[in-house]
Amino acid sequence: MEMLIHYTGLPQGMDQEEFKLAVANLLEDDGWLTGSGEDENGHYLELELEDEKVNPKHCIVAVRGYLCGAGFPRDTALELAGVATNIYG
């Protein structure tokens, strides 16, 4: 299952590489980073979640909790199946 993280900025003191490493460590064997870049709305991080051995909801909840706890901007969103949802909503 593909998931995108859309964000306009990083928490103070965090750079792109630290963010990618933190998400990779969070997912461990349950998902992996497949891409990153910029689009018209800011930045994105593309992830592939393991969905054959693990319920992807666990990964989604873990990533959302990490983003909220790390202090990502209020407009940060997770996108699944083409539908973006604000992480604080």
pLDDT at 29: 83
| DSSP per residue, 55-87 | -HHHHHHHHHHHHHHHT--TT-EEEETTEEEET
pLDDT at 28: 87
Q: In this predicted model, what pLDDT tens digit does every residue of 6-33 receive, in sequence order? A: 999 999 999 999 999 999 999 988 889 9
- The count of other CB atoms within 10 Å of the CB of residue 44 is 16
Map out the domains of the chain with their CATH numbers: 2-86 (3.30.70)
Site of tokens 């593309």? 46
Q: In this predicted model, what pLDDT tens digit does every residue of 26-62 receive, in sequence order? A: 998 888 999 999 998 899 999 999 877 778 888 899 9
